[in-house]
Amino acid sequence: MPEGPEIRRAADQLEKALQGKVLTDVWFSYPELQTYQQALIGERVVSIETRGKALLTHFSNGLTLYSHNQLYGVWRVVKTGSVPEGKRILRVRLAAADKTLLLFSASEIELLDAEGVARHPFLLKIGPDVLDMSLTEETVRERLLSPRFRRRQFSGLLLDQAFLAGLGNYLRVEILWQAQLAAHHKAESLNEAQCDALVTALLAVPRLSYQTRGQADEKHHHGALFRFKVFHRAGKACERCGGTIERTMLSSRPFYWCAGCQK
């Protein structure tokens, strides 16, 4: 399952293909959206925003295309005029002169005005996105220590999009290793140093993953590249303390940790 960093990188590809370009063709498979097709031709894609696993494509006329891929949805960038082979069902086509964005198989697609975005039930439910660069450690700390979240075990809290959007299973595992915390802890029982470490990791780990994951060429990267320290490494030695990495199931997802240094 893609998590926030993968969703944001996909959105970057879509933005690169279409941002600022005039739309020459717009098509939606859902009849209730087809009334907007003509209104969007001649407009531009202003930006593509990610909120957890939802994508918000903002148009120059003030409308926003909300899409949530669920399990099967996928966006593709193709050369305008070409139709990729495959069994997936096309839901959305946004074309400019040179490039076209295609959305296949997604079931949750809506066109909203600014008020519709502000009132959208999914967007109201989720917390701030970890890859929103205006999100600060201070805000994360406030959320973590708020009455709503402070008594929740990290095993469940770090998967809850209402706490912070964009976190998922591999990030949950890597953040807790980075902060040297066990999954059963709660924010209310942390000392200040532990709290600082967790708050830092909650933003630093997803952002490093977004910036560098999948890049093996260190020559172009000053500083660290994102690597799994514990995820899918059961039975291997922890690089921090030499302890053995263990695996279990928590919140019905595989969980990995070092029993030596995650206390």
253 among known catalytic residues = yes
3-state helix, strand, coil in the chain (%, to 5): 30, 25, 45
CATH fold match for the domains 4-125 and 137-258? no
pLDDT in tens, 193-242: 999 999 999 999 999 999 887 665 555 555 678 889 999 999 999 999 99
What CATH fold (topology level) applies to the domain 4-125? N-terminal domain of MutM-like DNA repair proteins (3.20.190)
Domain spans of the chain, in order of start: 4-125, 137-258
The residue from 3, 8, 51, 172 that is catalytic is: 3
What percent of the chain lies above the pLDDT cut of 90? 83
Mean pLDDT of 63-73: 86
Average pLDDT for the chain: 92
115 among known catalytic residues = no
85 falls in which pLDDT band (50, 70, 90)?
confident
> Which pLDDT value is given to residue 2?
77
| C-beta separation of 64 from 58 below 8 A | yes
The residue from 8, 53, 93, 143 that is catalytic is: 53
| C-beta separation of 2 from 170 below 8 A | no
Residues 6+ apart with CB under 8 A from 242: 260
For the entire predicted model, the pTM comes to 0.84
CA count, 13 A, side-chain hemisphere, 54: 23
> Which pLDDT value is given to residue 252?
87
53 among known catalytic residues = yes
The residue from 2, 84, 188, 236 that is catalytic is: 2
The residue from 9, 44, 76, 253 that is catalytic is: 253
Residue with tokens 């967790």: 198
| C-beta separation of 175 from 167 below 8 A | yes
> Which pLDDT value is given to residue 72?
76
> Which pLDDT value is given to residue 153?
97
| C-beta separation of 258 from 177 below 8 A | yes
Grouping H, G, I as helix, E, B as strand and the rest as coil, residue 256 is strand
Could you name the CATH architecture of 137-258?
Orthogonal Bundle (1.10)
